[in-house]
Amino acid sequence: MTAPEVPGTGTPDADLPGMVLGVSGGIAAYKACEVLRRFTESGHRVRVVPTEAALNFVGAATFEALSGQPVRTGVFTNVPEVAHVRLGQRADLVVVAPATADLMARLAHGRADDLLTATLLTARCPVLLAPAMHTEMWEHPATRDNVALLRSRGVVVLEPASGRLTGVDTGPGRLPEPSEIVALARLLLERPDALPRDLTGRRVVVSAGGTREPLDPVRFLGNRSSGRQGYAVAQVAAQRGAEVTLVAANTADLTAPAAVRVVRTGSAEQLRLAMLDESKDADVVVMAAAVADFRPVALAEHKIKKGADGPPVVHLTTNPDILAELVGLRPDGQLVVGFAAETGDETGGVLDHARVKLVRKGCDLLLANAVGDGKAFEQPDNGGWLLGSDGTEVELPHGSKALLASRLWDEVAARLG
C-alpha cells in the first residue's frame, strides 16, 4: 500500500531544494535508484514520480524507502491537494532518468495523462531528461524530431551513452552513468542555462589526466592530477552538441562521459602523439592534462635494485611542450585552450603568473586555477580565471568542475561565432 501523500506541505526538510525524479518504463529504471541515492545523500529532498510502466521494473516501496517520500503515478489520488500541478510548480529541478521514447513523445505533444507528464507540463524549473532506449528507437525520425522539439523549448535532453543495451545489442541509447546524471543535474541547479546546444557540429579534442614517465618496469614519475576537470570539459562539450574526443592519461578511476570517444595514453610522448593526430581537423583543442615537464633519459629494462652505493641517480630530460606545439601547428580558425595550475608566490599572484603564461604559450584562452591548500587537485570543485589573447579576463566563480567547464565553453562558443 502506498502511503497517503500530502504534496508540498511543510515537511521538516521543506527548506532544502525540492527535486522531482521522474522514472519511465525502461530496464534502466533500476539505475534510477542509484541516481536517487546520490541526490538524497547530497542533501536534496526528492519526490520520485514513476510512470505505471516504471513500476514493472522497480517497486514503489524501493523509491519510497530511498526517498523517504510517498510515491504514486496517477492524478486521481489525493485530489484536493492538486498534486498534478503542485509538484511541478514547486520543484527546483525535474530529472527524468530513464526517459523512454514514449515519455519524450508524450511530453513533446503536451500530454498530461499521468502524474509525471502533468508534473512536466507544470514545471517552470530546469528539466533534464536522460534518455535510455534501443539504438533503433533513439535514431528513429520520430524520436529525433521529439528530441529536437523538446530541446528547442529549453528542455535539456542528454546525449545517451554508447555501449551494452538490454540483451546482446550495443550502440547509442544507453543511460548515462548515475554519477554523470547527478553531476549534470547539479550543474543545472548552479546554472540553469549551462547546457545550450551551441557546439553542435563542432569537433572538439580535450586532453585530461596526468602523464606518467616510466623509470623502470614498475616505477614512474607522476603527478596528482585526477583528470576530473578535463573530463568535465569533455562531458559538458558533448552535452552542448560537440563531437568530442578525450585523450586521457591515467584516468582509470573515472567513468567515461556519455557520447565521448576516449583515447587512452600514459606518458607525455604518447599523449603528444595522440593530440597531434586528433587535433588536425578539430575546431577546438583543450589541453587540460597535467603533462610532466621532465622524463627519465633512459627507461631501465629491469627493476632498478637497491645498490650498495646508495640510491641511484636518475637523469632527466625535458619533455616537449605539447600546448606550444599545438599552437604552432594550429590550422586556420582552430581555437587552442591551455590550462594553468598556479599558486601565488613572492613575485606575484595567480593572475599575474597566468598573464605571463598566456603570452608564453601563445594559446587563445588560458584557464588558470588556484592550486595548493587543498584547492583544485582531487577536489570536486574549482574556480579561477579565464584569460583571452584578446585581453579579456573573466573571473570563474567557485563551483563544480562542470560549472567551470560551462563557463569555458561560453567563451569558446562566443569566439567560434
315 CB-near residues (< 8 Å, 6+ apart):
296, 297, 298
Residue 90: name the closest of 65, 108, 69, 106 by CA. 69
Q: Which range, of 54-62, 82-90, 133-141, 315-323, touches ligand C5P by CB under 6 A?
A: 315-323
201 contacts 178 by C-beta, under 8 angstroms: no
Among 28, 291, 403, 404, binds ligand C5P (CB under 6 A): 291
269 makes contact with ligand C5P (CB under 6 A): no
319 makes contact with ligand C5P (CB under 6 A): yes
323 makes contact with ligand C5P (CB under 6 A): yes
245 contacts 206 by C-beta, under 8 angstroms: yes
Question: Is 250 marked active-site?
Answer: no
Distance between CA 252 and CA 208 in Å, rounded?
12
250 makes contact with ligand C5P (CB under 6 A): no
Beta carbon of residue 338, minimum distance to ligand C5P (angstroms, whole number): 4
207 CB-near residues (< 8 Å, 6+ apart):
230, 246, 247, 248, 249, 271, 275, 286, 287, 288, 289, 322
What does the block give as the cell for 338?
Answer: 591551455
60 makes contact with ligand C5P (CB under 6 A): no
Residues in 335-364 at the binding interface with ligand C5P, rule: CB under 6 A: 338-340
Q: What DSSP letter does each residue of 43-74 carry, written as one string?
A: T-EEEEEE-TGGGGTS-HHHHHHHHSS-----
Q: Closest CB to ligand C5P among 85 and 268?
A: 268
322 makes contact with ligand C5P (CB under 6 A): yes
Q: Closest CB to ligand C5P among 153 and 360?
A: 360
Kindly provide the residue ranges of all beta strands, DSSP E only, lying in 297-334, ordered along the sequence.
Answer: 316-318
Residue 205: name the closest of 322, 283, 321, 290 by CA. 283
Among 5, 278, 321, 410, binds ligand C5P (CB under 6 A): 321
Beta carbon of residue 289, minimum distance to ligand C5P (angstroms, whole number): 5
Q: Closest CB to ligand C5P among 108 and 368?
A: 368
Q: Which range, of 104-112, 128-136, 288-296, 393-401, touches ligand C5P by CB under 6 A?
A: 288-296
102 makes contact with ligand C5P (CB under 6 A): no
Beta carbon of residue 73, minimum distance to ligand C5P (angstroms, whole number): 50
115 makes contact with ligand C5P (CB under 6 A): no
Distance between CA 413 and CA 417 in Å, rounded?
6
Catalytic, out of 78, 146, 223, 250: 223
Distance between CA 47 and CA 69 in Å, rounded?
6
Q: Is 415 exposed, middle or buried (0-12, 13-18, 19+ CB in 10 A)?
A: middle
Residues in the interface with ligand C5P (CB under 6 A) total 12
Among 81, 92, 102, 293, binds ligand C5P (CB under 6 A): 293
287 makes contact with ligand C5P (CB under 6 A): yes
Q: Which residues bind ligand C5P (CB under 6 A)?
A: 268, 287, 289, 291, 293, 319, 321-323, 338-340
Catalytic machinery residues? 223
